[in-house]
Chains A and B, each alone.
Chain A
Amino acid sequence: DTRFRASKRTYDRQYAQLYFSRLMLLKDVMHKRVEQLWRGVPVCSILEVQEGKEVAVIGTLYKNMKLKPSILDEYTKDRGLKAALGAANFCADDDSVVMEDDGARMVLSDWGLFLSRHTLPGTPQPRTGLVMAVRGVHEPGGDFFVSAVAFAGLAPNPYAAAALAASRPGDTYLALVSGLGLGGGRADLLATQLAADWLTGNLGSAAEQQLAAQVVRLVVAGGGIGQLEGLAGAAATAPGANPYNRSAQPVRDLDLLLAELAAALPVDVMPGPEDPANVALPQQPMHRCLFPGAASHGSLVRATNPHEFECGGVRVLGSSGQVVDDMAKYCGLRDRLDLMQRTLACRHLAPTAPDTLTCYPFTDDDPFILPATPHVYFAGNQPEFATRLVPVVVRLVAVPCFARTGTLVLLNLRTLACHPVRFDGSLGLGV
């Protein structure tokens, strides 16, 4: 977690530094990758590209999107016709793609055409902020015609050999939950309480209690506090309303719940989109004073988002889901696991930050770069449960929003097998 923690945050810098460090940090990796993939193709900077000669160029991708919301719209556009915010996808067919390195930028021509011909499952989609390499020819007139692309690829996993001792006796489990949504319009308090009781070993038959006993750690991947949907509309339009101000009651409820859980097992709590934490990524741990009850238990870990930790020799990395959700908006892909897999394949957790995802303006570091591939990569607050095992042994888990699905996820730390556990709190009242 340390790399996601910022002790003293000052907002004096712009974002250029972050992009610059990202490019510099990934440049060597890309260089090696290009040499390995496209033997004999010279790598050069954009400024050195000569017309008609096939070269490889490493740089940061930037996608010009017309539909992308901009704060300038508040001033220039017809205020009566504000584009529907929160639309799921801002892609349009005529989005153009440029690549930029530390010297210049160039337009990649016919990018859409290229993609439609070459997209293979598993290759990352172009996204603003992605560091990658393209191979192609500079056409007379200024555009660069792409014939192939390359990404950084999975980072090595230094823990692989030591940790995954499948021979270890006994199954232990890591429990993942997200989107409890306390105080929110969808919160399902009964299901939440059922889940808590089961985790603390107070529910179910002996077999079920046995399983619960094998859960060695619980991660609450954001979304502890829910959005008040009914209120959101009116409050947001009222002049001067701050959408980030909210009532204290759900936080107290969350404190009680966490205290109950932390008494029984180690609990990591990560901040999510609606939680009382700052919004800029990486989100800092929720403050101690918010959890006067739970914080007294030493077993409560107030974690950052993204959160990286080791559990029973397994390296786990996860986010509360904003990075995946944001990427879904800005590239044509819907499948969350695909998105997650691509994130790993380009060695960057949050390429769309800071362009469309608020993040802290780091100066000489980019904590979202993955120096190593974890064993488990999860994302919270996803629409539904999904999992996939990617060769080189990475378990991808889309942890669904609990308030919507009543599902928590158990991950076998020995086999990396993964399955959902469903709690249904409905009393059939509404039926």
Chain B
Amino acid sequence: GPPAKRQATGPDPDDMDFIEDDPSGPPEPLEDVELGEAGRNWVRPPVADFDPASTAIVFQQLEVDYYLAEPRAGVDTVPVEVKQVPVLRLFGVNAAGNSVCALVHGFEPYFLIERRPHWGADHIQALGLALNVGQELLGKAKGVGGPAVTRIEPAERRSIWNFQPPGTSTAFLKIVVSVPNLVAPARGLLEGGMSLSAVNDFVKCTTYESNVLFTLRFMVDCKVVGGNWVELPAGAYQLETARPMTHCQIEAHIRYDKLISHAPDGEYSSVAPLRIMSIDIECCGRKGCFPEAKIDPVIQIASMVSVSGKMDGPVVKNIMTLGSCASIVGAEVMSFNDEAEMLLRWRDLLVESDPDIIIGYNILNFDLPYLYERADALKIGKKFQVWGRVRGSHTRMRDGQFSSKAYGTHEYKDITIEGRVQFDLLTAIQRDHKLSSYSLNSVSAHFLGEQKEDVHHSAIADLQAGNEETRRRLAVYCLKDAYLPQRLLDKLMYTYNYIEMARVTGVPLSYLLTRGQSIKVFSQLLRKAAAKGFVIPNIKVQGPVAGADGVGYEGATVLDPKIGFYDRPVATLDFASLYPSIMMAHNLCYTTLLTKDQLNIVPPEDREQSPSGDWFVRNSRQRGLLPEILEELLAARKRAKNDLKAEKDPFKRAVLDGRQLALKVSANSVYGFTGATVGKMPCLAISASTTSYGREMIMTTRQLVQEHYTRANGYETDCEVIYGDTDSVMVNFKVADVARAMELGREAAAVVSKAFPPPVKLEFEKVYYPYLLMNKKRYAGLLWTRPETHDKMDSKGIETVRRDNCLLVRNVVTTCLERILIGKDVQGAVGYVKGVIADLLMNKIDLSLLVISKGLTQDADEYEGKIAHVELAKKMRKRDPATAPAVGDRVPYVIIKAAKGAKAWEKAEDPIYALEHSLPIDVQHYLEHHLSQPLLRIFEPVMKNPKELLCGDHTRCIAVSTPSTAAGGIMRFAKVTMSCLACKAPLPSGCKDSLCGHCKPQEAEIYSRTLGTVSELEAQYGALWTACQRCQGSLHMDVLCTSRDCPIFYRRKKVQKDLNEAMGQLDRFDATSW
């Protein structure tokens, strides 16, 4: 049949997080993908023979979706006229490594409404009739056959919203529709209001659980959680062998109520051998432009397939190249003359190797969309875009937008690859880690301790245009770029962590990266509500609920810091899981919230008012759902942590560690869910109460500690709370001994904990000694958890990671902190800072330390106003369009000296250009705008007059380099004459001597000095270039890398230039006195 037309209308912007999932179209006629001569590792292990009547199929599902199909005998029971029913597909892998697809039949989409007391059977009938005759549903139900609403049945439920006193109606109606995309229009009708002409009534009501995705609905009702093991019991399924719908090795049909879902515990907590394919493509761009799929060809595709849990590297390393390519040891090279042919072969390999997860670096926004669009440009889209597991099903791509409070808003390409999970390492790392740069190079330097060779996209065209050797060069680079994401995945244990997160929160794996935090809480809430007979209303939130400007309530509190340098151990007392424990202790939930007019129905001893003024019923009266969810999460985390301690096997440890982390994150996101004003279920009464309790607790803690630990109570000294933030309090017990401070800290934690209802618990975690408190959220100190030695240096809010700082600032700040805190040597730190400032002014600082970089997020011409890096990008484009930064690149720059009164944006210059033309660096700018603030902050608490760092003797010696004549400006009018190398006195023209007559007697000394410079540079030259050779992994080929993220990139260039200059000077001696 023809592919089903999908809805043209975009999703409702309010529903961003809960877009109705599209059903896939029915499969097109079977088209067997031509399987080429596959290498021995390409394919999955063969399926062992089994008898469906006696063998169960047990597998770990990773991806769930649904499609519409004709009813199938034996598993679907519908009236004969129905032509289409929704069928769920569970894709996954069994323990033997075979891919499995379970087709689950018979599960019906539904939602609920409240049943009015006066509604009888005729009312219900009229309701069904009214829904079925309306154009809204009829139009959509066309082709499905049968009525849109198949039945309406009564149900016993309670609403989750507000406390439901005894006697509240629990009568609900469950409206079952034939296909999932009828839920939305039916909901629209009921919420918008419609008349029931048969009984002469009008209905306009809130719908319940009408915003739950069909797949999630199924998972909740069948207790399937993301990435868990499911079982098709022996004899209960029909094995599909004749007309398989998917490329999976095992395919079976089953009724939804026969499916067994295993909780991820015990033997079912393991992870199946998943096949993970990492890809990277290279494109051949035109000079000066970022590659565009419509014009620029894909020239190489690297694919690596590895199996999770197998340590010995990828099982497949393949590279496909356009044009011949010399062979590469350990990798399979396939060369093509025709781009379309290459793309099609890659599609075949994708299908043959049948990965469960597709990973890469920035694949969601670059590699995959590029391949997709490129195929359209080559007019092979229909043939090529078949990446999923469903035979003949066309992969779809559309623009998506992702919006979340935690991760911000960004656009992305939403590509549906049926049955395969897409996992972009870039997205994951951006979410989970704060780094100064997210280029693959700096990410691998950070996590793997390796620099990566970076070939500029302008160099790619040259390599491609060369011979098979240069293309091989490119291929090696491309393979490495495919391998690194794989290693990052392993190193960061993402497979385990994300599967565990999916299991804990119950959402499919793919939601974790493409959706926000709230769907996870929503899924848990749904499950909990379902178990307790609650239902969740679909509440339309119109703008912020309380307060104006989106700031609905007061956040956490920060105690005023007592700024200073503490040479005594400072104990830190933390509330463990502050917000979750508050919610548990005070029973904060939707189901326990009392409205103002409900106060009289609950006796005062059964309710409690939060500091923010809202009332909640106490635990004794009714346990809230959220506290219960939290309790389970935290209890599970405790178990996982205990298991982790006992476990020896590294793989099981990885799983357990992933789980405890997922549990912690989930627990903390519950509070955020209630406070997200753009979320689905915001309830500011809950979130505002939570923070108000938190604020009160911090204040109480301060008071209790300061009252208890006094001389009057027999302690050494009066203690002092010096700082507190959100969930922690810093106490200076004014004792010299770390062990004693720890003892007091532990004691204080126990004493204070008693003042709060369980499970709130104040914990003593660590001691800072010494401790440098600079301001709110800005401090540094040595962290001690054992009295013997410190664990590490810990700093917050200091210029150590922010990327718009140059490396110099980071280095100086880190070194100063080290000297002050670890070395306890303030004088040494002062001396060091002075030395650095002197070096800076003497122009001796390595240029790469001064490079600042900012991202070019849109085309340079589209920026409004003058911004330094944007203006520079424009300038560079004029100079050489080939190497100028394109959109998406980071623009590195240095600040150079410019004419007096020049604007800041005029002073930015390309570091390479500045180097080549010896443009003087504006060191004053660096001193005043970059170094002084952080330094003053650090030194303020430790010395009397920190300003003396920035002025004084060490700032009096200044050296400025002379710009080359090519640099323009005043130098164009300068005339170059030879001068004495020592005293710079001009030499008479034509004189080839190196020194003037006056300096001649000191020739040996002056020569030695020049020679010293040469020697130092030579040593650096050797060290730098060999380091690059090692990094690129080849001795016989030139280094091509132009990674501007690499710290030695500029230095390499500078040494080369300086060395040649110095050699020139040295040669002048030879000319005269040989």
Q: A11-B1063, A80-B818 are in contact. Are A289 and B1004 (CB under 8 A)?
A: yes
Measured CB to CB, the nearest residue on chain A to B1063 is A9
Determine the chain A residues whose CB is within 8 A of the CB of B1003 once the complex forms. 289
In this assembly, does B119 line the interface, its C-beta being within 8 Å of a C-beta of chain A?
no
How many Å lie between the Cα of A310 and that of B890 in the bound state? Answer: 59
Determine the chain B residues whose CB is within 8 A of the CB of A355 once the complex forms. 1026, 1029-1030
> Which of B1007, B1013, B1021, B1036 has most A Cβ within 10 Å?
B1036
Within 8 A of B (CB), among A341-400: 354-359, 361
Pairwise interchain contact B1011-A244, C-beta atoms closer than 8 A: yes
In this assembly, does B382 line the interface, its C-beta being within 8 Å of a C-beta of chain A?
no
Pairwise interchain contact A47-B329, C-beta atoms closer than 8 A: yes
In this assembly, does A162 line the interface, its C-beta being within 8 Å of a C-beta of chain B?
no
Neighbour of A14 across the interface among B469, B1014, B1020, B1039, CB < 8 A:
B1039
In this assembly, does A167 line the interface, its C-beta being within 8 Å of a C-beta of chain B?
no
Determine the chain A residues whose CB is within 8 A of the CB of B1020 once the complex forms. 71
In this assembly, does A117 line the interface, its C-beta being within 8 Å of a C-beta of chain B?
no
Q: A10-B1063, A248-B1004 are in contact. Are A16 and B1014 (CB under 8 A)?
A: no
Pairwise interchain contact A20-B1036, C-beta atoms closer than 8 A: yes
Measured CB to CB, the nearest residue on chain A to B1047 is A75
Within 8 A of A (CB), among B298-346: 312, 326-330
Pairwise interchain contact A60-B1035, C-beta atoms closer than 8 A: yes
Measured CB to CB, the nearest residue on chain A to B793 is A80
Determine the chain A residues whose CB is within 8 A of the CB of B1015 once the complex forms. 244, 277-279
How many Å lie between the Cα of A11 and that of B1060 in the bound state? Answer: 6
Measured CB to CB, the nearest residue on chain B to A15 is B1025
Determine the chain B residues whose CB is within 8 A of the CB of A116 once the complex forms. none
Pairwise interchain contact B844-A240, C-beta atoms closer than 8 A: yes
Determine the chain A residues whose CB is within 8 A of the CB of B1069 once the complex forms. 287, 289
Q: A19-B1035, A278-B1011 are in contact. Are A358 and B1004 (CB under 8 A)?
A: no
Determine the chain B residues whose CB is within 8 A of the CB of A243 once the complex forms. 1016
Pairwise interchain contact A14-B1008, C-beta atoms closer than 8 A: no
In this assembly, does A111 line the interface, its C-beta being within 8 Å of a C-beta of chain B?
no
Within 8 A of A (CB), among B998-1018: 1003-1005, 1007-1009, 1011-1016, 1018
Pairwise interchain contact B1026-A104, C-beta atoms closer than 8 A: no
Q: A251-B1008, A287-B1007 are in contact. Are A62 and B842 (CB under 8 A)?
A: no
Determine the chain A residues whose CB is within 8 A of the CB of B1060 once the complex forms. 10-12
Report the minimal beta-carbon distance from A271 to chain B, rounded to whole angstroms: 10
Determine the chain A residues whose CB is within 8 A of the CB of B1029 once the complex forms. 14-16, 355
Neighbour of B328 across the interface among A9, A104, A288, CB < 8 A:
A104
Within 8 A of A (CB), among B728-744: none
Report the minimal beta-carbon distance from B681 to chain A, rounded to whole angstroms: 46
In this assembly, does A102 line the interface, its C-beta being within 8 Å of a C-beta of chain B?
yes
Within 8 A of A (CB), among B375-416: none
Within 8 A of A (CB), among B822-851: 822, 832, 835-836, 838-839, 842, 844
Pairwise interchain contact A290-B1022, C-beta atoms closer than 8 A: no
Within 8 A of B (CB), among A204-253: 238-240, 242-246, 248, 251-252
Pairwise interchain contact B1036-A239, C-beta atoms closer than 8 A: no
Determine the chain B residues whose CB is within 8 A of the CB of A19 once the complex forms. 1035-1036
Pairwise interchain contact A76-B326, C-beta atoms closer than 8 A: no
Determine the chain A residues whose CB is within 8 A of the CB of B700 once the complex forms. none
Q: A76-B445, A289-B1003 are in contact. Are A279 and B1018 (CB under 8 A)?
A: yes
Residue interface mask A267-291, B partner, CB < 8 A = 1: 0000000001111100000011110
Neighbour of B815 across the interface among A11, A46, A79, A104, CB < 8 A:
A79
Pairwise interchain contact B1025-A70, C-beta atoms closer than 8 A: no
Report the minimal beta-carbon distance from B156 to chain A, rounded to whole angstroms: 63
Neighbour of A356 across the interface among B451, B472, B1026, B1067, CB < 8 A:
B1026
Pairwise interchain contact B1025-A72, C-beta atoms closer than 8 A: no
In this assembly, does B467 line the interface, its C-beta being within 8 Å of a C-beta of chain A?
no
Determine the chain A residues whose CB is within 8 A of the CB of B928 once the complex forms. none
Report the minimal beta-carbon distance from B621 to chain A, rounded to whole angstroms: 56
Residue interface mask A33-76, B partner, CB < 8 A = 1: 00000000000001101000000000010100000001110111
Measured CB to CB, the nearest residue on chain B to A62 is B1035
In this assembly, does B1038 line the interface, its C-beta being within 8 Å of a C-beta of chain A?
yes
How many Å lie between the Cα of A242 and that of B842 in the bound state? Answer: 14
Pairwise interchain contact A15-B1026, C-beta atoms closer than 8 A: yes
Give the secondary structure class of A's interface.
loop
Pairwise interchain contact B1048-A72, C-beta atoms closer than 8 A: yes
How many Å lie between the Cα of A62 and that of B807 in the bound state? Answer: 32
> Which of A16, A60, A71, A100 has most B Cβ within 10 Å?
A71
How many Å lie between the Cα of A104 and that of B1039 in the bound state? Answer: 15
How many Å lie between the Cα of A216 and that of B1038 in the bound state? Answer: 47
Measured CB to CB, the nearest residue on chain B to A79 is B815
Pairwise interchain contact B1033-A105, C-beta atoms closer than 8 A: yes
Report the minimal beta-carbon distance from B467 to chain A, rounded to whole angstroms: 12
Q: A105-B1033, A288-B1074 are in contact. Are A248 and B1005 (CB under 8 A)?
A: yes
Determine the chain B residues whose CB is within 8 A of the CB of A278 once the complex forms. 1011, 1014-1015, 1018
Determine the chain B residues whose CB is within 8 A of the CB of A356 once the complex forms. 1026
In this assembly, does A188 line the interface, its C-beta being within 8 Å of a C-beta of chain B?
no
In this assembly, does A142 line the interface, its C-beta being within 8 Å of a C-beta of chain B?
yes
Pairwise interchain contact A248-B1036, C-beta atoms closer than 8 A: no
Pairwise interchain contact A104-B329, C-beta atoms closer than 8 A: yes
Pairwise interchain contact B835-A102, C-beta atoms closer than 8 A: no
Determine the chain B residues whose CB is within 8 A of the CB of A9 once the complex forms. 1063
Pairwise interchain contact B1025-A290, C-beta atoms closer than 8 A: no
Report the minimal beta-carbon distance from B1074 to chain A, rounded to whole angstroms: 6
Q: A76-B445, A279-B1018 are in contact. Are A100 and B1036 (CB under 8 A)?
A: yes
Determine the chain B residues whose CB is within 8 A of the CB of A240 once the complex forms. 835, 838-839, 842, 844
How many Å lie between the Cα of A102 and that of B1073 in the bound state? Answer: 43
Pairwise interchain contact A80-B1018, C-beta atoms closer than 8 A: no
Q: A9-B1063, A251-B1008 are in contact. Are A70 and B1027 (CB under 8 A)?
A: yes
Determine the chain A residues whose CB is within 8 A of the CB of B1063 once the complex forms. 9-11
How many Å lie between the Cα of A238 and that of B1007 in the bound state? Answer: 23
Measured CB to CB, the nearest residue on chain A to B1002 is A248
How many Å lie between the Cα of A3 and that of B623 in the bound state? Answer: 90
Pairwise interchain contact A76-B1014, C-beta atoms closer than 8 A: no
Determine the chain B residues whose CB is within 8 A of the CB of A354 once the complex forms. 1022, 1025-1026
Neighbour of A72 across the interface among B1012, B1038, B1047, B1067, CB < 8 A:
B1047
In this assembly, does A122 line the interface, its C-beta being within 8 Å of a C-beta of chain B?
no
Determine the chain A residues whose CB is within 8 A of the CB of B1039 once the complex forms. 14, 16
In this assembly, does B1056 line the interface, its C-beta being within 8 Å of a C-beta of chain A?
yes
Measured CB to CB, the nearest residue on chain A to B846 is A74
Report the minimal beta-carbon distance from A110 to chain B, rounded to whole angstroms: 15
How many Å lie between the Cα of A289 and that of B832 in the bound state? Answer: 38
In this assembly, does B801 line the interface, its C-beta being within 8 Å of a C-beta of chain A?
no
Measured CB to CB, the nearest residue on chain A to B807 is A75
Residue interface mask B1025-1060, A partner, CB < 8 A = 1: 111111101111111000000011000000010011
Pairwise interchain contact A246-B1025, C-beta atoms closer than 8 A: no
How many Å lie between the Cα of A8 and that of B1064 in the bound state? Answer: 9
How many Å lie between the Cα of A20 and that of B1029 in the bound state? Answer: 13
Pairwise interchain contact B1056-A60, C-beta atoms closer than 8 A: no
In this assembly, does A156 line the interface, its C-beta being within 8 Å of a C-beta of chain B?
no
Report the minimal beta-carbon distance from B997 to chain A, rounded to whole angstroms: 15
Determine the chain B residues whose CB is within 8 A of the CB of A279 once the complex forms. 1015, 1018-1019
10 smallest CB-CB distances across A and B, nearest first, come from A358-B1022, A239-B835, A142-B330, A244-B1012, A244-B1015, A280-B1018, A245-B1012, A75-B1047, A71-B1023, A19-B1035
9 extra A-B contacts, CB within 8 A, seeds A70-B1027, A104-B328, A105-B1033: A11-B1063, A16-B1035, A72-B1048, A103-B469, A104-B327, A244-B1019, A280-B1021, A287-B1073, A359-B1022
Q: Which residues of A contact B (CB under 8 A)?
A: 8-12, 14-17, 19-20, 23, 46-47, 49, 60, 62, 70-72, 74-76, 79-80, 100-106, 129, 141-142, 238-240, 242-246, 248, 251-252, 276-280, 287-290, 292, 354-359, 361
13 CB-based A-B contacts, threshold 8 Å: A11-B1056, A14-B1025, A19-B1035, A49-B329, A62-B1035, A72-B1031, A74-B1047, A75-B1047, A79-B818, A103-B326, A238-B835, A277-B1011, A290-B1004
